[in-house]
């Protein structure tokens, strides 16, 4: 036990730092929650005019629900956001516009901007739009809408703007500074937006990193480490113990890193609706951390409570592995990677499952045979300080003798 103590302390310090840094981390889209529990999968802090775009893209039917948010909007200004199929410019923008109308209501509508002398008249856009609505609360304006995107606009130019009102008519905006830079690209499918944007430009890369770290650690290393403990014990003692510790410790370290990227992703898009994936992730992290702490409280092999500790260690361990596999598939549903990745992981699971099917009866066979010969159930009883010992508790099979 002593020999593993200092790496363990280092491990706790590392995970504590990771957890703290991801709780602290904030980006431009953070901490915004919409009323009525409306939630969006992605968010981008737009690179000009202090505005934000939140959206959820529904791939199957090609619709995207958006919220364009502009803090610091007065009741005498208009705001607008749109997509421009004709180029990175104002002219041709299929816009959503909102302002406070003569009855004092903040009202949103669609306006196809044809030229630079527009007065933002109402009109339908080149693609269908539903659910157009707007709110102005404490000086923060938001336009909501659902766009039925033609395929050429899944990746598009986005343009946004704000300007003054005069007698109920939108007037020309400033034509300098931020007001001339409020143009960017957006890829609704991959969650990437705007060159130079402070928000989600590298979001897809972060998501992939999160997926790979978690699939490798929780999905492969930890189950393999558990299998080593269970199936190598009868052949190689105490090598299995070092392998088990090596796999579980590296799995845990990588897993905590993956977990931290997940928490960070979640914080970056508040109101995101992947609550099951998130809750499972937090439960898995908690169980795994308990599992590592439990090592420090492990009774000596011949201690009478060692049997209960083993039962506890196995129960939490297997639960964590099962929850991890479930959560990895939930993650696949969210990330929606190419099918080959999902199949690659299924392939690994099938391989591990096949190992279990072969090794489980084999291990039982060896254990029972050794028992019936009156020997110990592990390979080298006299030098073995990691297993349950000669006089150990009632050994009912490979399950109940573990370090
Ligand atoms: C009251 C209605 C509007 C008027 C009269 C107006 C007028 C103009 C004019 C004259 C310019 C050219 C400035 C120059 O080249 O020096 C311009 C540029 C621009 N406008 Fe507007 N605009 C209006 C609404 C909008 C809306 C609704 C948007 C966005 C949805 C927008 C986005 C832009 C952008 C990004 C530029 C700079 C890029 C470009 O020249 O195309 N404008 N606007
Ligand atoms: C598109 O799919 C989303 C989510 O499945 C659904 O909420 C929405 O009503 C659908 N819209 C259309 C136009 O079919
Ligand atoms: C102002 O906007 C509200 C909300 O959209 C609408 O019901 C009302 O008719 C508008 N008033 C005028 C004068 O356009
Ligand atoms: C096993 O039992 C024997 C006799 O009861 C005792 O001398 C020996 O120390 C025990 N060994 C362990 C590892 O508990």
Ligand nearest to the CA of 132: 3
CA of 107 to the centre of ligand 3 (A): 6
What is the domain count for the chain?
2
The position carrying tokens 């959560």 is 327
Ligand nearest to the CA of 166: 1
Q: What predicted TM-score, i.e. pTM, was given to this entire model?
A: 0.53
Partners of residue 58 on adjacent β-strands: 63
Show which of 166, 198, 230 is a domain's final residue. Answer: 198
DSSP-derived secondary structure for 154-180: SEEEEEEEEEEEETTEEPPPP-STHHH
Evaluate: CB of 37 within 6 angstroms of ligand 3: no
Distance between CA atoms of 246 and 86, rounded to whole angstroms?
57
* Per-residue pLDDT, 297: 83
On whether residue 89 sits in a domain, the answer given is yes
Mean pLDDT in residue range 192-202 = 45
For residues 217 and 173, membership in a common domain is answered with no
For residues 191 and 212, membership in a common domain is answered with no
Q: Is the pLDDT of residue 22 over 80?
A: no
Distance between CA atoms of 34 and 42, rounded to whole angstroms?
13
Q: Is the pLDDT of residue 4 over 80?
A: no
Closest residue to atom 13 of ligand 4, CA basis? 389
Cβ 160 vs Cβ 178: under 8 Å: no
* Per-residue pLDDT, 237: 74
Work out the angle between the directed axes of helices 239-268 and 275-296 (0-180°, nearest 10). Answer: 140
* Per-residue pLDDT, 381: 35
277 is in an annotated binding site: yes
Q: Is the pLDDT of residue 307 over 70?
A: yes
For residues 134 and 240, membership in a common domain is answered with no
* CATH at residue 315: 1.20.120.1770
Give me the long-range contacts of 90-98 (CB less than 8 A, separation at least 24). 90/116, 90/159, 90/161, 91/115, 91/116, 93/159, 94/125, 94/126, 94/127, 95/120, 95/125, 95/159, 96/68, 96/129, 96/132, 96/143, 96/145, 97/143, 97/170, 98/134, 98/136, 98/141, 98/143
User: Ligand 2 site: residues with CB under 6 angstroms?
Assistant: 58, 61, 63
On whether residue 4 sits in a domain, the answer given is no
Closest residue to atom 14 of ligand 2, CA basis? 61
* Per-residue pLDDT, 181: 84
For residue 104, name the pLDDT band (cuts at 50, 70, 90). Answer: very high
CA of 63 to the centre of ligand 2 (A): 7
Closest residue to atom 10 of ligand 1, CA basis? 116
* Per-residue pLDDT, 42: 86
| Range of 117-131, 300-314, 333-347 with top mean pLDDT | 117-131
On whether residue 20 sits in a domain, the answer given is no
Q: How many CB atoms lie within 10 A of CB 219?
A: 25
For residues 285 and 245, membership in a common domain is answered with yes
**Most informative mutation of 38, 41, 58 for ligand 2 (most atoms within 8 A of CB):** 58
For residues 282 and 389, membership in a common domain is answered with yes
Q: Which domain holds residue 112?
A: 30-198
* Per-residue pLDDT, 375: 55
Lowest mean pLDDT among 71-85, 228-242, 379-393: 379-393
C-alpha torsion sign, points 90, 94, 98, 101: positive
313 is in an annotated binding site: yes
* CATH at residue 39: 2.60.40.1210
Helices (H), 61-144: none
Query: Measured from the CA of 389, which atom of ligand 4 is nearest?
Result: 13
Show which of 181, 198, 215 is a domain's final residue. Answer: 198
For residues 210 and 125, membership in a common domain is answered with no
For residues 157 and 98, membership in a common domain is answered with yes
For residue 198, name the pLDDT band (cuts at 50, 70, 90). Answer: very low
């Amino acid at each position: 036990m002593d020999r593993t103590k200092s790496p363990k302390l280092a491990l706790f310090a590392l995970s504590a730092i990771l957890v703290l840094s991801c709780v602290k981390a904030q980006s431009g889209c953070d901490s915004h929650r919409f009323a009525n529990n409306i939630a969006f999968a992605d968010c981008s802090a737009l690179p000009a005019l202090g505005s934000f775009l939140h959206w959820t893209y529904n791939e199957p039917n090609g619709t995207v629900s958006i919220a364009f948010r502009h803090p610091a909007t007065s009741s005498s200004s208009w705001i607008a956001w749109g997509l421009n199929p004709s180029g990175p410019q104002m002219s041709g923008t299929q816009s959503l516009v909102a302002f406070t109308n003569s009855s004092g209501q903040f009202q949103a509508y669609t306006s196809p901007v044809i030229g630079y002398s527009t007065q933002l008249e109402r009109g339908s856009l080149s693609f269908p739009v539903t659910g157009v609505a707007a709110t102005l609360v404490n000086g923060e304006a938001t336009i909501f809408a659902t766009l039925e995107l033609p395929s050429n606009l899944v990746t598009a130019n986005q343009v946004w703007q704000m300007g003054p009102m005069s007698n109920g008519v939108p007037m020309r905006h400033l034509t300098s500074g931020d007001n001339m830079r409020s143009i960017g690209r957006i890829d609704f499918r991959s969650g990437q937006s705007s060159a130079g944007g402070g928000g989600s430009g590298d979001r897809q890369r972060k998501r992939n990193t999160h997926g790979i770290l978690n699939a490798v650690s929780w999905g492969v290393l930890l189950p393999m480490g558990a299998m080593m403990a269970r199936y190598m014990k009868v052949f190689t003692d105490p090598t299995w113990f070092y392998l088990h510790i090596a796999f579980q410790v590296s799995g845990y370290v990588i897993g905590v890193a993956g977990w931290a990227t997940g928490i960070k992703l979640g914080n970056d898009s508040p109101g995101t609706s992947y609550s099951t994936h998130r809750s499972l992730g937090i439960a898995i992290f908690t169980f795994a951390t308990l599992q590592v702490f439990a090592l420090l409280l492990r009774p000596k092999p011949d201690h009478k409570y060692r049997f209960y500790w083993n039962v506890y260690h196995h129960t939490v361990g297997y639960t964590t592995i099962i929850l991890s596999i479930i959560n990895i598939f939930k993650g696949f549903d969210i990330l929606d990677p190419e099918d080959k990745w999902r199949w690659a992981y299924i392939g690994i699971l099938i391989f591990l499952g096949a190992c279990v099917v072969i090794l489980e009866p084999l291990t039982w066979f060896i254990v029972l045979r050794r028992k019936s010969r009156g020997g110990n159930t592990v390979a080298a009883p006299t030098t073995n300080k990691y297993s349950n010992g000669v006089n150990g508790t009632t050994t009912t099979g490979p399950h109940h003798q573990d370090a």
